[in-house]
Amino acid sequence: MTRSQTALLRLDQLISQLEQSLMANWDQSRNQIDESAEKSCELNDVPSNAIVNSAQILNELEETRQTLKEAQAAAEADAQTRTDFLSNMSHELRTPMTAILGFSEFLQNAEISEGERTKAVQTIQRNGRYLLEVINDLLDLSKVEAGQLEIEKRKLNPMSLLLDVKALLEDHAQAKNNTLQLEMEGHIPAVIQTDPTRLKQALVNLVVNAIKFTENGSVRLRLTCDQQQERLSCHVIDTGIGIHASQLQHIFQPFGQADSSPPRRQDGTGLGLTITRRIAEMLGGEISVRSEMGKGSEFIFSIPTGSLTDTPMMTSIDDAMATRPAPLEYSVHSQIHGRVLLVEDNPDNQRLIRFILNRAGADVTIAKNGETGIKLALAAMQAKSPFDLILMDLQMPVMDGYQATYSLREAGFSGQIVALTAQALEGEIDKCLSAGCDAHLSKPIDRNTFIPEVAARIGKQSHFPNSVRKQTA
């Protein structure tokens, strides 16, 4: 028996004793009424009041008993939810880790074929990416629940953002023989005021969810706008398996996949829709869903646009494409020519980053902490051969990356410094930029973003070398 159940039982016994005592007093009062009714009307009023008061107390006790029962039921439901959450979380973490560790051990077997080796590596990569997604979802959910998810509203072109989402997920859709289409209904504002990072995160979650439950079909992203209400809606429409009406109320709950049985059961924590709903609320909007089994689902993500007074309107997707920036000059295949100082304390990360940069053509020197990094950088400057780029880990022993970057700027290092951080939070990013970094790259390292960023910045002058000194002047 739980503590709450024990406490409730004791309280129930106490209430019963009080009831018995009150009923006894009530019977005694009624007897007094009968005996004194003929003697005095004044005496008759007193026991009558006692009866009324006793009845009121009994009603209040019964209400208290019911309230406590409801509180216990709510507490037990909350405890069960937490238990289910931890159970699911354990499953979602241990499943990919089992594959990663198992196939890593499998690769140590020298007798396996090249084809088996390739499949093992692909399995490790796939499970590693999934594990990272789970961790990111958990971090986002914890920030949302703690009220620490920061919202920074800026001007943006909504259709341009949808084009980015489409480009990001088109290959993912094609892998399941789905088409990913953009649609525009009516006039859409060329500029709205919202948080582009959170809006993109929410739409990516919705599109990924739609692709997950759709095969050999289509996923459509449709933009609509109510200009009078100044609200923009993004409809994510799929031709997938649909959701049963009885399950719709659960899908926005943590680990709330609509159904744990085939065919609905898919890989995933179910946290994406929970986070998406919280993002909608934080942006001042809401999310709704309608679905029909066997025909598909439609999620509608609506947010305020900000004032649309004098805002130009778009009538076609071509209008949005005309305002998009030119493609990046650098790619994952770009060559990197120059000297790079890698300030990183973790030996495994040192080997990995050096390997990636060496393959791209860079000459890499390693420092194991910020203090050593400063010495190597200053020595190179004195030798008239400064490093062309510094990659700076932020969390290190002896001296962290913030202090090392600040000290290098104070000493006159004018090259680019790029932060490497596993804490991709807005506050951490702002902190490293304020210290003198030119940009940041998140860990784990993704070659598709890492190589282009390094290639674009190597050998370039920093925009920050004087800003740090001005702050302390």
pLDDT of 406 strictly over 80? yes
Q: Bigger pLDDT: 220 or 267?
A: 220
pLDDT of 365 strictly over 70? yes
pLDDT of 154 strictly over 80? yes
Instruction: Assign 53 a pLDDT band (cuts: 50, 70, 90).
Output: low
pLDDT of 302 strictly over 80? yes
Q: Bigger pLDDT: 172 or 178?
A: 178
Give the whole-angstrom CA distance, residue 427 versus residue 424: 9
pLDDT at 263: 45
pLDDT at 286: 95
3-state secondary structure of 143: helix
pLDDT of 160 strictly over 80? yes
Q: Bigger pLDDT: 141 or 220?
A: 220
Give the whole-angstrom CA distance, residue 353 versus residue 44: 95
Average pLDDT rounded to a whole number, residues 125-149:
77
pTM beyond cutoff 0.75: no
pLDDT digits (tens, 9 = 90+) for 435-454: 899 988 888 888 888 999 99
pLDDT at 52: 58
pLDDT of 74 strictly over 60? yes
pLDDT at 180: 95
CB 417 within 8 A of CB 408: yes
pLDDT of 265 strictly over 50? no
pLDDT of 223 strictly over 90? yes
Mean pLDDT of the chain: 80
pLDDT at 273: 86
How is residue 461 annotated by DSSP? B
Task: State in Å, rounded, how far the first CA of the chain is from the last one.
Answer: 67
pLDDT of 308 strictly over 70? yes
Q: Which residue has the tokens 């390739």?
A: 118
User: Helix H segments across 175-270?
Assistant: 196-212
pLDDT of 391 strictly over 50? yes
What's phi and psi for 150, nearest 5 deg? -80, 140
How many other C-beta atoms can be found within 10 angstroms of the C-beta atom of residue 38?
8
pLDDT at 24: 60
Give the whole-angstrom CA distance, residue 195 versus residue 444: 25
What percentage of the chain's residues is helix, strand, coil (to nearest 5)?
A: 55, 15, 30
pLDDT at 47: 53
Q: Which of 50-64, 189-203, 257-271 has the highest mean pLDDT?
A: 189-203
Instruction: Assign 81 a pLDDT band (cuts: 50, 70, 90).
Output: low
Tokens representing 17?
Answer: 């004793």
pLDDT at 56: 74
Instruction: Assign 262 a pLDDT band (cuts: 50, 70, 90).
Output: very low
How many other C-beta atoms can be found within 10 angstroms of the C-beta atom of residue 265?
11
Percent of the chain exceeding pLDDT 70 equals 75
pLDDT of 324 strictly over 70? no
Cα angle: 160, vertex 136, 174; to 5 degrees: 50
pLDDT at 269: 57
Instruction: Assign 259 a pLDDT band (cuts: 50, 70, 90).
Output: very low
CB 296 within 8 A of CB 217: yes
Among the ranges given (220-229, 365-374, 443-452), the one the predictor scored with the smallest mean pLDDT: 443-452
pLDDT of 174 strictly over 50? yes
pLDDT at 431: 82
Tokens representing 324?
Answer: 């998009």
Q: What are 461's strand-pairing partners? A: 415
Q: Bigger pLDDT: 419 or 29?
A: 419
pLDDT of 239 strictly over 90? yes
pLDDT of 48 strictly over 90? no
How many other C-beta atoms can be found within 10 angstroms of the C-beta atom of residue 134?
18
Separation in Å, CA 227 to CA 90, 158, 247, 306, 350 = 46, 14, 33, 10, 53
Among the ranges given (106-110, 191-195, 374-378, 390-394), the one the predictor scored with the smallest mean pLDDT: 106-110
Average pLDDT rounded to a whole number, residues 107-121:
89
Q: Which residue has the tokens 């282009």?
A: 452
Average pLDDT rounded to a whole number, residues 330-343:
91
Closest by CA to 363, choosing from 351, 373, 354, is: 354
Query: Which residues have CB under 8 Å from 391's CB, separation 6+?
Result: 340, 341, 342, 343, 344, 353, 418, 420, 441, 454
pLDDT of 300 strictly over 90? yes
Q: What are 363's strand-pairing partners? A: 339
Instruction: Assign 473 a pLDDT band (cuts: 50, 70, 90).
Output: very low
Give the whole-angstrom CA distance, residue 32 versus residue 228: 73
Edge-first strand order for the sheet with 389-393 is 363-367, 339-343, 389-393, 416-421, 439-442
Tell me the DSSP string of 380-429: HHHTT---SEEEEESS-SSS-HHHHHHHHHHTT--BEEEEEES---HHHH
